Structure 1
Amino acid sequence: MTGWDGDVYTRPVAPMDTWFLLYPDAVAGIIQVFVEGTGTIDPDRLAEAVEAASEACPGTRLVREGRTWVDSGVAPPLRVVDGSRLDRTAFTGMPVLHDRMPETGPPCEVLLLTGSPTTVVFRADHAALDGKGVLVWVEDVFRVLRGERPRGASSELTEADVIAGAPPPSGTALVSDLEWPSALGAAPPHRTGLFWRRRTVDGAHPALVAKIASALTRYVGRPVGRFMVPVDLRRHAPDIRSTGNLITNLLYEASAEDDWHTAHERLLTLLAGNVDLLSGVDPSLSRVPLETARPRIAALDGFSARSNRYPALAMLSHLGRIDLAELSTDTFHATTLYPLPSSGPIGPPELNFVECGGRTEITIGWHDSPGTARRAEELLDVLADVLSPGRNRTWAGNDTDRPLAREGTVVEQFRAQVARTPDSVVLTGPEGEISYAELDRRSDAVAAELVDRGLGPDALVGLLAGRTVAAMAGIWGILKAGAAYLPLDPGQPDARLADLVTDAGVTTCLAEREHAGRTAIPGECAAVVLEDVAASGRRVPAAPVAPDDLAYVIYTSGSTGRPKGVEIQHRALSTFVSWATRIYEVGPDTRFPLFSSLAFDLSNTAIFLPVLAGGSVALVPDELDHLVLRDVLENLGATALKLTPTHLDLIGRLGLRPTGFRTVIAGGELLRGPVARRAQETFGEGCRIFNEYGPTETTVGCMTWTFDPDRDGGAVSVPIGVPTDNTRIHLLDADRRFVEPGEVGEMYLSGAQLARGYRGRPDLDRERFVTLADGTRAYRSGDLARMLPSGVLESAGRDDEQLKINGYRIEPAEVARALEEHPSVTRAFAVGRARGEDRTLCAYVVPGGGGEVDVDALTEHVRALLPRYMVPSVISVVREIPRTGNGKVDVSRLPDPFTGAAGEPSDGERRDEVEEAVATIWSTTLAVPADRIAGDADFHRLGGDSAALLAMLATVSREVVGKDQEQEFMSHLPTIVRRPTLSWVSELVRRSRHTPV
């Protein structure tokens, strides 16, 4: 019988336990599980957690009394050990890993290794626990560390009990014999200890054991290979929780000619027939005295070693897929887990596998002898290439290592440029021309103010300003002080800006005078008038700025409903500037117009590149419409342009004819071939058109491609090209495996331009910034791409619901969250709906309590919370949000938001010649019959986006309003955006036409 003896947990020594008790003295027979991660673990808290978890898992406290295991009540000890000398590939430098467990104490212990990475090693005597049992205990230790209750493992069943209660086997057990050579060659006749080697492979791999078995069979050059595969008998009793030895070693054969599908099917067939129930240790072993059995086993082991004959080529032990969140705490984040094999007598080399964190850990171990470790490394090379072929991991486009063209941070480069060209013009705009020396003087004054306030390296300063000289002085002043800037768009609602300032922990905000009193600056944040500070004329000694210091933080839309701040360091910024200056040929005669929001990192191209190359920036403070765009292209003397593909398309649709441009860079969203072709025709053959790709997390841009009309003009999308200097791109599938050339994969971006992470969001850091198998830190972009036969990358969309509208990233969850904050809405869902070639942001809301929703009031509510580009074009009221069987929103069952939006003019509704002309233009723009557009029809509800709205207004200005009155007409743009109906636009046309010039 097994079970509890009064209050003491006991169980008999089972046949499988006995086998491990027969291990020779030279082989420790210890299961060792490493948990590595970042952060810290307090030794005292860990000791308390080990004690509590072991109380719940008494199998970790056993001592052997004859043929019975008895709970000693003594918790496994914790030792703090110097881990600085540990080689985590060969596992040399720590003799403790070869120690046996004391025979008189508990069968487990815990090692907390000092040094980096933070590591906890859980050691257990294999005679008392198996690998799955150790994991049960390990997870409970971390549960206690998180302040949770341990689940415990108090089941007293042995493998004999499970086998007796399991379904009878229908298969035939393979005969166990000693006829197979070791996969690593002969072992030494006399045991001298074990060696270990480790390899990490990207991705999780279905049918992992079958793939390894087939590859190993081919590696040793045999037509058929036999393998020992430990099988967890808990699969027959899934409700039990036990730490005991509930494993059997299934004998499994693989053919060298089989593909992995066939090999996997053969293994599944054996398991389906419950053949593992026939593979246990001979029950009679428990009845043989240990002192009698041990010499017999030793003799058989010696024969096996001398003749190089084993029951199988190798043992393949898969510990399963591990959720690393279960091994993490508030101060420690687990990054990987792996066990060290423990090869016993008569045992072939053992390979252990664990899949966790998007990677597969492989460890191999066996008896040490000359040459075996080297052969093990060769074998791991082969297996790693089988799982992750080198042809998929290697891409010529990733050969991007290049020294920076200029040394130092952007602050050092700016000071050097001022020294070279103090009197040259650096800024132009409504204030006239500003020299480098003047910008240097004003920014020095800003820096002096910030230094006085104690703001230096890694301090974040808010910047609430438009595209003005004061804003430029603010940026450079903040950077000179050694601090970082948080750009705040004055056009965004105060509520949102205040949330960003609070979330970022900003204590000081530089604001232009007209914005200094806004509630966008919370009361706990000091507001400093930017113009006053910049005009003070004060100077301070240059503050040291290091490459790892923070340069700026830009907030992007968040998939959790909260915006997230991306932290960019100086090293990343200077790397981007070096590359972009070279590839775009930026020099002293380059002038970029700056017309994008400073809170949109697309603007950083114009802010930094020309200034650090001796060129200039044309400041455009006005919001973009066709008049401003015409001025930018024709009157500012600009030679280079950075804008979104939407705006590039708008230039062609407006029929503008810019001159003098040598470089046009499109970025922020998909660039279609026809749009690029028309842009080439518009700007002329002498202008290079670039398609640049790069999320905010990789510092503005990390890939580019030079458009060729003959090569790319007919493409659905222009390629995004190859990585920038010191950047690498990897295409991985949903299981983090490298994809085959030509297959679609998610882009993982790595290199010198990678962000530090998200401000105050370690949860998002862990989700989006990952570590690849070779130790590379990479950003999961969520953007899909494929490799073209030409060796460059082409965009293939997204793997989630994120939208790109006018270059801005929009997470629908953030839009839905804002809608749900309105009292009349119980549930909301936002999505991009196709309208022609473009996507329009639409929302669906469910009223609360059977009430009604005032859509106009709801729209105003959202405008008060979100930036203009995140306000849905159409809000539809529905009774419910339909779901699929797996709980996701079924977009196909949501109503078309554009159906019926045009309405129809009523019988009594008569149009004058103005409204008729405007309706005709709407019809052309939106592909809706003019006679079907009612006066109260909403331009956005008809599917028009912001770019289409500007194109429509430009046509109305040209064809209906007239050149003399178009300035007056376009001054009403803010009211048109809020009320884009046919009747209102027509009314504004009438007013403008009657306005005296």
Structure 2
Amino acid sequence: MSASDRWWLAHPDTISPVIQTVVEGTGSIDVDALWSAVTAVATACPDTALRHTRKAWLAGGTPPRVRVVHGAADGTAVAGIDALHDPLPTPDGAWCEVLLCPGDPAAVVFRASHAVMDWPGMALWIADVFRVLRGEAPLGAADATTEDDIFDRFPAPAEKPPSPKIEWVSPLGQPSGSRRTAWARRTVDGYHRGLVAQVAAALTTAYELPSARFAVAFDLRRHVPGVRSTGNLSQVELFDCTAGAPWETFHEQVLTAMAEGREVSSRLDSGLLKLPRPILRTLVKAMEKGPADKRRYASATVVAHLGRIEPGSLCTDGFEARTLYPVPLLTAGSPPDLNLVECGGRTELTLTWRDGDGAAERMGAVLDTVTEALSPRRSRDWDGNTTSAAADPATVVQRLRQVVAQRPGAEAVRWPGGSLTFAELDARSEVVAARLLELGIGRDDVVGLFADRSMWAIIGMWGVLKAGAAYLPLDVQHPDARLAGLLTDAAARVCLVQDKYAGRSVTGPGCTVVLLSELATEGVPDVGVTPAPGDLAYVIYTSGSTGKPKGVEIEHAALANYVDWTTSRFGCGPDTAFAVFTSLAFDLSNTALFTPMLAGGTLVLVPDEPNHLTLRHLLEHSGADTLSLTPSHLDLIGQLDLDPAGFKVLVVVGEQLRSAVAARARAMFGPGCRVLNMYGPTEATVGLTLHECTAADDAAPAVPVGLPMDNCTVHLLDPQRRFVAAGEIGEMYLGGAQLARGYRNRPDLTSERFVHLADGTRVYRTGDLARVLPGGELEFIGRADDQVKVNGYRIEPAEIAHVLQRHPAVRAAVVVARTRPGAEHKQLHGYVVLEPGAEAADWDAFLGEHLPRYMVPSATTVIDAVPHNANGKVDVAALPDPHAAHAATGPAVTASGDEVRLAVARVWASTLSLDEARLDEAADFHHLGGNSVQLLAMLAGVCRDVVGAGAERAFMAELGSIIREPTLERVSDIARQARDGAPMAVPAAG
């Protein structure tokens, strides 16, 4: 038993020194499971179950009890809980207990007498209880080291430090006689360097004092690394703070004291161990019974930084922790007590003082001053986030039914050679919905949708939504193994399949295949299912940094808010003809899938894969007047000899839009066409900000991404989750009505990416960097991590590396994005270290079996070892240049004298910004840094300059062959045969 233990034991029940910690979150914990965990941990952390003699603690005392208590229904888990004021030990002799507080939010409160535990020790206890709740073994904290043991490690000071003067009047007002503790709490965004010093400076200002003295708490465990003890191993040291002085001055004092080990020199007098307990108790009572106006303290406030706790360590299968904060009971002679905890990217501040008239208001005002010092309102509030607007509660299913009733004979969907009216679409989708209901599909079930850009996809999509379920669009261009993995991951029990893909192996034994073409075309009565706003509408998979794709879950309310906003800002109505030519598994397509039809307009399907021929038909002959596309596709269109007709709106989203591309599009499409730059990840339902391009954008390298949509917000935070000042670069955290529910079956990843700000706002951390321009709009800057975009698709290089490492010949793999000199876009490049004795394989073929084409690196190079820098990260600069490795070494093209090959080489050189004299027959378009959009631009150039208009369809018919073998020799041969009308040669296998 230490001197501190002895001091706390002397407190009577009326001044019970209890430390209390609230773990607050959502969900629930079974009371029996909690009791079992607490009981199990009592063995691993014996300080939670102690009994005492006059001079020592003994293990094997009464274990903590678990009580279920209820607070006030005001959104605060522990408000109004009288049990927080109960003394310890309990009537049965337990020095610790746990309170379970059900509700929303829910909470678990850990309580311990200060006689047996300090806060850093309580953190060990709490962590172990949650480990056991998750089925893990406790780490334990059974070391019996006391503060006196630590003091004995250091030489006694030559002179005894002077006792602190008890001279400070409480700046919060003297207690009125009530011994009941009161708390005020604030939460501040971010982690703040020199936190104790910044808080001390802010408190001095809030107290309106010329100077103030603060007692700063230190954890002595830093002097005994490896010791795990829950006992009292904390000590305080006094520091003075001058009003107006920079907080760094106070911070320097604290660091100097730590460097000198001053907290082990100002030890509590061990003579307390010799005083009889009745005398100690008399001293304690005397400290509390003096007249209120005469009470003095050793400091203005005790300030304790309790460390950093990650909420993930405090979760169970049924309970998700959001935050943690202390609500201690004041001890005898204590001034106000301010405890600080960093948790979940936020800083919790709890101020504790005696209750009384006006105490809560005074405490709240003080914490408001501290909050403003740490996180100024001018940084938190941005006018662009003033987006509140009335929301239509109707889901897209309800809205479609309204349009069907109003415009049954109007054209809902059209494609080359066919169309569907709203009545026909309604009838056919009802048949699909009825079949799904027969199969037991309902609310929040996921149904796979394996169809191309055809009426079958649209009928299937609406049928799933009408059944109350969510659809999972599958890209027919992706390999079967990947699609099967997505269906399995999403737990899809049914997959709707277009008949032309019935032979594909994309489903497992647990998934029923329903051929869309086999469903009756006759209408059935309305199935009568109306999805709720909180029901799941669709799931779209994106690349995952862990090597596994992640399914983003979008609810009906989010989709409805997006459609409301796009309909208004795009000016969509019954006259709108909105085209879609991108993959339906790319959420960009959802703009076209929902916006026009729910406005009574027409969805225009482009079935064929994008190339200059399909784009020409789309832009010149389809009758579409609205189009959503990526900047890469817009750049491609600008390079083609096209004459767009009748377009009113271009919506550009998916990548950063360069001003030169936007300016060229404005000129190409004419003054009657608006070019809108939209930003937003899949997790925010397609798009969340918008900017209309004008000539004023031409002076900057890139077009702004604009302002948030209705009921949506954007917050810019630094790496420590603090709001950045106006004009500074920060990571975009998106909030509001369009946020996804989370990632399907990935609660860990959901908790990591969907977080909460200090005010409780749920936000999605994007990894995208931006700043607010002087004009008030957002400018996209780039990424804060390794994620890249290819043609609008987000790609995590780690996922590709994970697939490479599954090859039996690969020991290690890394994938990075690099930019070839002279090029504008980054390209993916893979590097593999082989197993001893293994040989290089056809990496493209292997990756193509598991990944979509846009995720296959342009080159994969064998290296001896993966280089790392001093920080343990991959040293990208030390990796070999893949472009140099694949570049030709001589002017083979010029020497060949082949007219067609020379012409094709000139097109390649122009497209890739290369010297054509260095292109030989074996040159590979992708290995030279070309991406899929540049490939289309190259093919269009070959048609224009080499093949001619009469033979371009024959040439483009060989697109699949070119994609499989994009060499200069192969493209030249196909171009020559198309131009001359000769039969196409089939390349040899392999």
The TM-score range, normalised by the shorter chain, is: over 0.9
1:89-100 alignment runs, 5 A limit? 91-100=79-88
Paired with 1:594 and 1:906, the residues of 2 have a C-alpha distance of 43
Identity %: 49
Paired with 1:366 and 1:577, the residues of 2 have a C-alpha distance of 51
> Aligned with 1:838: secondary structure?
coil
| Residue number in structure 1 paired with 2:987 | none
Paired with 1:594 and 1:519, the residues of 2 have a C-alpha distance of 27
| Residue number in structure 1 paired with 2:190 | 203
| Residue number in structure 1 paired with 2:567 | 581
Runs of 5+ consecutive residues of structure 1 not aligned to the other structure: 1-11
Compared CA separation, residues 299 and 946, structure 1 to 2 (3 A) = same
The one-character-per-residue Cα deviations of 1:187-222 (angstroms, maximum 9, x if unpaired) are 22x343111122111111221111110111122222
| Residue number in structure 1 paired with 2:222 | 235
Runs of 5+ consecutive residues of structure 2 not aligned to the other structure: 984-990
| Residue number in structure 1 paired with 2:850 | 865
Report the alpha carbon displacement of residue 150 of structure 1 after superposing the two structures with TM. Answer: 2.4
Are 1:528 and 2:514 counterparts?
Answer: yes
AA at the equivalent of 2:678? E
RMSD: 2.0
| Residue number in structure 1 paired with 2:707 | 722
> Aligned with 1:766: secondary structure?
helix
Kept in 1: contact 2:543–2:799 (CA 8 A):
yes
| Residue number in structure 1 paired with 2:471 | 485
| Residue number in structure 2 paired with 1:754 | 739
Paired with 1:717 and 1:248, the residues of 2 have a C-alpha distance of 55
Structure 1 counterpart of 2:264, from 277, 288, 293: 277
Are 1:979 and 2:989 counterparts?
Answer: no
Compared CA separation, residues 669 and 26, structure 1 to 2 (3 A) = same
Report the alpha carbon displacement of residue 697 of structure 1 after superposing the two structures with TM. Answer: 0.7
Structure 2 counterpart of 1:53, from 18, 29, 41: 41
Paired with 2:133 and 2:897, the residues of 1 have a C-alpha distance of 74
Kept in 2: contact 1:341–1:364 (CA 8 A):
no
> Aligned with 2:627: secondary structure?
strand
AA at the equivalent of 1:92? G
Paired with 1:246 and 1:591, the residues of 2 have a C-alpha distance of 72
The one-character-per-residue Cα deviations of 1:45-77 (angstroms, maximum 9, x if unpaired) are 222221221112222222232233222443222
Paired with 1:460 and 1:323, the residues of 2 have a C-alpha distance of 32
The one-character-per-residue Cα deviations of 1:210-248 (angstroms, maximum 9, x if unpaired) are 111011112222222100112112222223222221222
Report the alpha carbon displacement of residue 881 of structure 1 after superposing the two structures with TM. Answer: 1.1
Compared CA separation, residues 427 and 95, structure 1 to 2 (3 A) = same
| Residue number in structure 2 paired with 1:43 | 31
Are 1:161 and 2:149 counterparts?
Answer: yes
AA at the equivalent of 1:149? A
Report the alpha carbon displacement of residue 308 of structure 1 after superposing the two structures with TM. Answer: 4.6
AA at the equivalent of 1:251? L
Report the alpha carbon displacement of residue 796 of structure 1 after superposing the two structures with TM. Answer: 1.3
1:66-215 alignment runs, 5 A limit? 66-83=54-71, 85=73, 88=76, 91-102=79-90, 105-166=93-154, 175-188=163-176, 190-215=177-202
Structure 2 counterpart of 1:499, from 480, 485, 489: 485
1:523-672 alignment runs, 5 A limit? 523-533=509-519, 535-672=521-658
> Aligned with 2:107: secondary structure?
strand
| Residue number in structure 2 paired with 1:877 | 862
Kept in 2: contact 1:26–1:193 (CA 8 A):
no
Paired with 2:131 and 2:600, the residues of 1 have a C-alpha distance of 58
Are 1:419 and 2:405 counterparts?
Answer: yes
Paired with 1:704 and 1:168, the residues of 2 have a C-alpha distance of 67
Are 1:809 and 2:797 counterparts?
Answer: no
Paired with 1:585 and 1:467, the residues of 2 have a C-alpha distance of 24
Report the alpha carbon displacement of residue 521 of structure 1 after superposing the two structures with TM. Answer: 2.3
Are 1:946 and 2:935 counterparts?
Answer: no
Kept in 2: contact 1:443–1:534 (CA 8 A):
no
Are 1:226 and 2:213 counterparts?
Answer: yes
| Residue number in structure 1 paired with 2:873 | 888
AA at the equivalent of 2:367? L
Kept in 2: contact 1:488–1:599 (CA 8 A):
yes
Paired with 1:694 and 1:40, the residues of 2 have a C-alpha distance of 33
Range 744-753 or range 275-284, more displaced: 275-284
> Aligned with 1:899: secondary structure?
helix
1:738-753 alignment runs, 5 A limit? 738-753=723-738
Range 551-560 or range 133-142, more displaced: 133-142
Structure 2 counterpart of 1:327, from 314, 325, 331: 314
Compared CA separation, residues 82 and 90, structure 1 to 2 (3 A) = closer
| Residue number in structure 2 paired with 1:5 | none
1:952-991 alignment runs, 5 A limit? 952-991=938-977
| Residue number in structure 2 paired with 1:389 | 376
Report the alpha carbon displacement of residue 664 of structure 1 after superposing the two structures with TM. Answer: 0.6
AA at the equivalent of 1:71? A
The one-character-per-residue Cα deviations of 1:281-307 (angstroms, maximum 9, x if unpaired) are 222222222322333343344447322
Paired with 1:789 and 1:171, the residues of 2 have a C-alpha distance of 61
Kept in 1: contact 2:75–2:104 (CA 8 A):
no
> Aligned with 2:642: secondary structure?
coil
Compared CA separation, residues 624 and 170, structure 1 to 2 (3 A) = farther
| Residue number in structure 2 paired with 1:374 | 361
| Residue number in structure 2 paired with 1:3 | none
The one-character-per-residue Cα deviations of 1:828-855 (angstroms, maximum 9, x if unpaired) are 111111132111111111122142203x
Kept in 2: contact 1:750–1:777 (CA 8 A):
yes
Range 928-937 or range 287-296, more displaced: 287-296
Report the alpha carbon displacement of residue 43 of structure 1 after superposing the two structures with TM. Answer: 2.1
Range 433-442 or range 873-882, more displaced: 433-442
| Residue number in structure 2 paired with 1:312 | 299
> Aligned with 1:264: secondary structure?
helix
Kept in 2: contact 1:304–1:346 (CA 8 A):
no
Structure 1 counterpart of 2:424, from 430, 435, 438: 438
> Aligned with 2:152: secondary structure?
helix
Compared CA separation, residues 443 and 174, structure 1 to 2 (3 A) = farther
| Residue number in structure 2 paired with 1:6 | none
Kept in 2: contact 1:91–1:197 (CA 8 A):
no
Kept in 1: contact 2:482–2:850 (CA 8 A):
yes
| Residue number in structure 2 paired with 1:265 | 252
Report the alpha carbon displacement of residue 25 of structure 1 after superposing the two structures with TM. Answer: 4.0
Kept in 2: contact 1:98–1:193 (CA 8 A):
no
AA at the equivalent of 2:403? Q
| Residue number in structure 2 paired with 1:902 | 887
> Aligned with 1:270: secondary structure?
helix
Kept in 2: contact 1:591–1:639 (CA 8 A):
yes
1:771-920 alignment runs, 5 A limit? 771-835=756-820, 836-854=823-841, 857-905=842-890, 910-920=896-906
Paired with 1:532 and 1:673, the residues of 2 have a C-alpha distance of 49
1:9-28 alignment runs, 5 A limit? 12=1, 14-28=2-16
Compared CA separation, residues 609 and 104, structure 1 to 2 (3 A) = closer
AA at the equivalent of 1:239? G
Paired with 1:244 and 1:381, the residues of 2 have a C-alpha distance of 34
Kept in 2: contact 1:213–1:254 (CA 8 A):
yes
> Aligned with 1:150: secondary structure?
coil
Kept in 2: contact 1:556–1:809 (CA 8 A):
yes
Paired with 2:421 and 2:178, the residues of 1 have a C-alpha distance of 79
| Residue number in structure 1 paired with 2:50 | 62
> Aligned with 1:601: secondary structure?
coil
AA at the equivalent of 1:601? D
Are 1:688 and 2:680 counterparts?
Answer: no
Kept in 2: contact 1:90–1:198 (CA 8 A):
no
Kept in 1: contact 2:14–2:87 (CA 8 A):
no
AA at the equivalent of 1:970? M
Report the alpha carbon displacement of residue 410 of structure 1 after superposing the two structures with TM. Answer: 0.7
The one-character-per-residue Cα deviations of 1:755-807 (angstroms, maximum 9, x if unpaired) are 11111111111111112211111111111111111111111111111111100
Report the alpha carbon displacement of residue 899 of structure 1 after superposing the two structures with TM. Answer: 0.8
Report the alpha carbon displacement of residue 514 of structure 1 after superposing the two structures with TM. Answer: 0.7
AA at the equivalent of 1:579? W
Compared CA separation, residues 94 and 517, structure 1 to 2 (3 A) = farther
AA at the equivalent of 2:850? L
